[in-house]
Chain A
């Protein structure tokens, strides 16, 4: 099945550093979501974006919906050890009467060192 392209695939950072990751698609979506997944657990929703160009924050997290509707970005400021995990972007094409299934990215594995 289709998977969106996420970069970087993995990153090692030090506590306190800022982190940036992005997600690109060959097709457009009208919703972008960012999830975090810990080992052995299901994805947990971090941020949802509903409008092209939208910039939304959730605590230390900030995400943007690209104006082309084919990409999205996630920034984490002042990283802490509990930010460790795999971050997934997901695109959604919401249309009345159809399934709002999610198309996920390949994931960015984040590891934070003290």
Chain B
């Protein structure tokens, strides 16, 4: 399977715990995006990487959230001191990053987080 993969698919944690999610983009895709989707809503942009550089962060990304893409391949999204409001589906997407005009984003299956 050469699509975007995410791990874990599901995570249940207690409030106050830290969690980390991983995303593996499509091979050789330079751009990687994180989105958050709450129940009944469309995905909302969180942050974006061009290779290993984090170039944009949404205001939705509070100080408790941190994302990395250390070698320009896989990415991790960490949430510290989780709150019940963090419960959502966290989606990763990647795109080739070769053309500024035609950048189709392909999504992974998501990680569903439930904070008790």
Selected contact of B44 from candidates A1, A44, A94, A97, CB within 8 Å: A1
- Are B48's CB and A101's CB within 8 A? yes
- CB-contacts of B62-116 with A (<8 A): 91, 93, 95, 100-110, 112
8 Å CB interface, B23-58 against A: 31, 33, 35, 40-45, 48, 55-56, 58
Residues of the A chain whose Cβ atoms lie less than 8 Å from the Cβ of B108: 42
User: Is A103 in the interface zone, CB < 8 Å from B?
Assistant: yes
Known A-B contacts A40-B112, A42-B91; the reply to A104 vs B44 at CB < 8 A is: yes
CB contacts (< 8 Å) of A45 on chain B: these are: 104-107
Pick the contact of B109: A41, A95, A100, A102 (CB < 8 A).
A41
Return the chain B residue nearest A92 by Cβ.
B103
Shortest C-beta distance, A26 to chain B (Å), equals: 16
B12 in the interface (beta carbon within 8 A): no
Q: Does the CB pair B104–A43 fall under 8 Å?
A: no
Expressed in whole angstroms, the minimum distance between the Cβ of A39 and any Cβ of chain B is: 11
Task: Count B-side interface residues using an 8 Å CB cutoff.
Answer: 32
- Binding site of A, secondary structure by majority: helix, strand, loop or mixed? loop
Docked Cα-Cα span, A99 to B48, in Å, equals: 7
Contact for A102 among B4, B43, B60, B102, CB less than 8 A: B43
Contact of A95 among B4, B33, B100, B112 (CB under 8 A): B100
Q: Contacts A99-B55, A102-B105 known; list 9 others, CB within 8 Å.
A: A1-B59, A4-B42, A33-B104, A42-B93, A50-B101, A88-B43, A95-B100, A104-B44, A106-B42
Write 16 A-B pairs (CB below 8 A) sorted by A numbering: A3-B44, A40-B110, A40-B112, A42-B108, A42-B109, A42-B110, A43-B107, A45-B105, A48-B104, A94-B102, A95-B100, A99-B45, A101-B56, A103-B45, A106-B41, A106-B42
